[in-house]
Structure 1
Amino acid sequence: MRIVYYTDQIYLHGGLERVLANKLNYFSQNTNFELHVVTFQQGNNPPCYDINDKVKFHDLSIKYDRKKSFLHPKNIKHAPKHYLKLKSKIKQINPDVIVVCNYEYGFYFIPLITKKAIKIKEYHSSGHFNYISRLNNKKFIKKCVYKISDYFESRYDALVLLTKDELKYHNSNNTLVIPNAITHVSSQSADLSNKKAISAGRIAPVKGFEYLIKSWQTVIESCPDWTLEIYGEGEGEYVKELESLIKSLNLEKHVFLKGATQQLDCKMLESSIYVMSSLTECFPMVILEAMSCGLPVVSFDCPNGPRHMIEHNLNGLLVEYLNKNKLSEGLIDLINNIDKREFMSNNAKINVNRYKESVIMPLWLDLFKKNHIRN
């Protein structure tokens, strides 16, 4: 079976890129699939995560300005070239299956380009806010855009969602739920004695790190010997804002922006709590990675995501969405109660087994094979 994964790029660290690399490596090692990755803004950059040499890479070299909307005139002018290059590449590869990983022009192009290949759209973010926008929308043009998107969704053989909560955001009858898989469950566990909490992710406003930093100011009032390390890279302006916030709150000795690391699991094992302050998450892999290391997790109960992975008071704490005071209360609760941390650590290690590759990846194999036989 010849499979194409289509996305924008795989050189920036992120959840989608991590999950894609994991899938490609699994299929490379456990099947005889011929695997291709088609990108349109990879350039000469190497993949940010290690990917098996059996995978073939193709880049269309479309130079969109990613600081602007795809509908901005500076970007729209590239769409015809994008379509023609993508069509030519798909014809050249002649895949049995095309999996669309992100949401831009290619989402609309793929159903127009091929009728032969099995077409699968996988969603890596929550449809919650788009759903709210639809409910509140009064504009005719936006209604038309939503109808067009729904039409193209219906042209896919399958829409793969990460949680059951996401099903209500799609009108098509071709939906199914397959969670992300974790490739490795650590044989070690954090000893939970280090007075350090950790957070990680792309440094962007959607991750809500300003809420976390502000909450940490309250944490150190009662726990002054604890520190917070934030790992990740991202938007330069936002990084400067966070650095300025840390300085203005006099937290330079308590909160540290550490940049990207290839050894996040080691950093987790050196910590005692994982904390997430995201504004939106659908299925954050970093929570599974933290649980794999035996870290209890404190997280905002943001729409649809962490609540599917965290069982409140069992393997972590879910606190009121965007309430920095509740976030600091949850952190202080765990900081002051090592028995509770150890209890949650043990349960986190058990919980993560639900998402092992041996459990999740056969669902993908079944999806490919069923649709291949049907076609």
Structure 2
Amino acid sequence: MKIVFNTDQIHLHGGIEKVMATKVNFWANLPDVEVFIVTTEQHNLPPRYPLDERVRLVDFGVNYDRGTSYFSFENLKKAWQHYKRQKQLFADLQPDVIISPNFNFDHYWLPFIKQKAKLIKERHGSRFYEVTQRKNISFIKKLRFKINDWIEKKYDAIVVLNPDEASYVKTNNAVVIPNPVKISNLLADISAKKVVAAGRISPVKNFADLIKAWGFVYQEFPDWQLDIYGEDYLGTQTKLEQQIEEAGLQNVIHFKGSTENMLELMSQYSIYAMTSETECFPMVLLEALSIGLPIVSYDCPNGPRHIIDNGEDGILVKHKNVEALATELKTMMRNPAERQRIQKLAKHNYLHFTTTEVMKQWQTLLNLPNV
């Protein structure tokens, strides 16, 4: 069997890239399975996450200009090159499965050039706000949604990460398969007076609310630190640093940049905090559970509630309630026995998200034998 992943790149940090690496490495170890990752803009850079040497990499070198509209003249020319190269590759490879884990130009033409392959679209982002966007819209926007629905109907499966997201698929081909996480022997240091948050430093991660909450936390716990890991996106970090300085928190809140060993670093912390606008199925929460790191998270749409058992292996806070978030953080900080209780449950409850368990569902979808 030949399995092909289509994506833009695999050289940046990200949940899609990390999960893809886990899947392809699993399949590369199966007998009679060949795995390919096909990119459009790898720029001769190495993969961010380790890949099995048997995984074959193909880069078209299309290199879309991400700083301009997808439909600019230059990007449309590149899309034609992309289409021709992809069509030829599929003709040569004759893949059995094609998986598209993100949204790109080829979303629209994959159903028409897939040969005989089973075609699967993965949705890694939440469509929560799309429900509102589909209401009271112009004819043009309504037409765009209808075209997208028509295209998605031609996919054999739309894989979503939780049951809430399945309700947003309009084409009756949704399959729910969560993200997998590797088994970890690490254990978080719940005695540390440090809280950690991580993710791309962008508006959707809403670190601004976490900084506001820390203003309340600081009044009672001035000796605790908040560290935020992640790459800056479009200058968002500068705005957040200004917010921190205006609140007088520059000595206790620190941006730590991106890192190759996030799991090891998280084990040095006592609490994980999340304040995102939306999260579909955040890998970082799975990883926090895997090392027994207590979590305090917004109950944002729609991922955290499908990972955290509220009050058992973490705490869910009403979305965008900054004061409630601060209250729960302070409760967790002043109660080491509660952190220890949650840690034990987290180390147990994450096991149904392990690679072995999740890949059984993928094996069923692809008609591969379970191992």
Q: Which residue of 2 aligns with 1:253?
A: 251
Structure 1 segment 121-140 matched on structure 2, within 5 A: 121-134=121-134, 136-140=135-139
Distance 1:251 1:138 in 2: 43
**Residue-by-residue CA offset, 1:39-93 (whole Å, 9 max, x unaligned):** 1111111111111111111111223222334234543343222211221222222
Q: Which residue of 1 aligns with 2:104?
A: 104
Q: Letter of the 2:119 partner, please give it.
A: K
Q: Which residue of 1 aligns with 2:153?
A: 154
Alpha-carbon distance, 1:236 to partner: 4.8
Q: Which residue of 1 aligns with 2:51?
A: 51
Alpha-carbon distance, 1:29 to partner: 2.3
Q: Which residue of 1 aligns with 2:64?
A: 64
Alpha-carbon distance, 1:32 to partner: 3.2
Distance 1:209 1:66 in 2: 24
Q: Letter of the 2:283 partner, please give it.
A: M
Distance 1:206 1:74 in 2: 28
**Residue-by-residue CA offset, 1:327-352 (whole Å, 9 max, x unaligned):** 11111110111121111111111110
**Residue-by-residue CA offset, 1:181-229 (whole Å, 9 max, x unaligned):** 1122x22322311100011111211111111112112111111110011
What's the TM-score once normalised by structure 1's chain length? Answer: 0.95
Q: Letter of the 2:201 partner, please give it.
A: I
Moved more, 102-111 or 228-237: 228-237
**Residue-by-residue CA offset, 1:144-200 (whole Å, 9 max, x unaligned):** 11111111111111111111111111121221111111122x223223111000111
Alpha-carbon distance, 1:31 to partner: 4.0
Q: Which residue of 2 aligns with 1:142?
A: 141
Q: Letter of the 1:276 partner, please give it.
A: M
Q: Letter of the 2:158 partner, please give it.
A: L
Structure 1 segment 88-99 matched on structure 2, within 5 A: 88-99=88-99
What's the TM-score once normalised by structure 2's chain length? Answer: 0.96
User: Equivalent residue of 1:159, what SS?
Assistant: strand
Distance 1:46 1:245 in 2: 36
Q: Which residue of 1 aligns with 2:33?
A: 33
Where do 5+ consecutive residues of structure 1 fail to align? none
**Residue-by-residue CA offset, 1:223-255 (whole Å, 9 max, x unaligned):** 111001111113151122222222222212101
Distance 1:204 1:127 in 2: 18
Where do 5+ consecutive residues of structure 2 fail to align? none
2:263 to 262, 265, 287: 265
Q: Letter of the 1:367 partner, please give it.
A: L
Distance 1:294 1:180 in 2: 18
Corresponding pairs, count: 369
Is contact 2:186-2:264 (8 Å) kept?
A: no
Q: 1:321 to 1:54 in 2, by over 3 A?
A: same
Is contact 1:101-1:122 (8 Å) kept?
A: yes
Alpha-carbon distance, 1:112 to partner: 1.4
Alpha-carbon distance, 1:281 to partner: 0.5
Q: Which residue of 2 aligns with 1:281?
A: 279
Is contact 2:98-2:114 (8 Å) kept?
A: no
User: Equivalent residue of 1:271, what SS?
Assistant: coil
Is contact 1:70-1:104 (8 Å) kept?
A: no
Task: Indicate the structure with greater helix content.
Answer: 1
Distance 2:194 2:296 in 1: 13
Distance 1:73 1:314 in 2: 53
Q: Letter of the 1:144 partner, please give it.
A: L
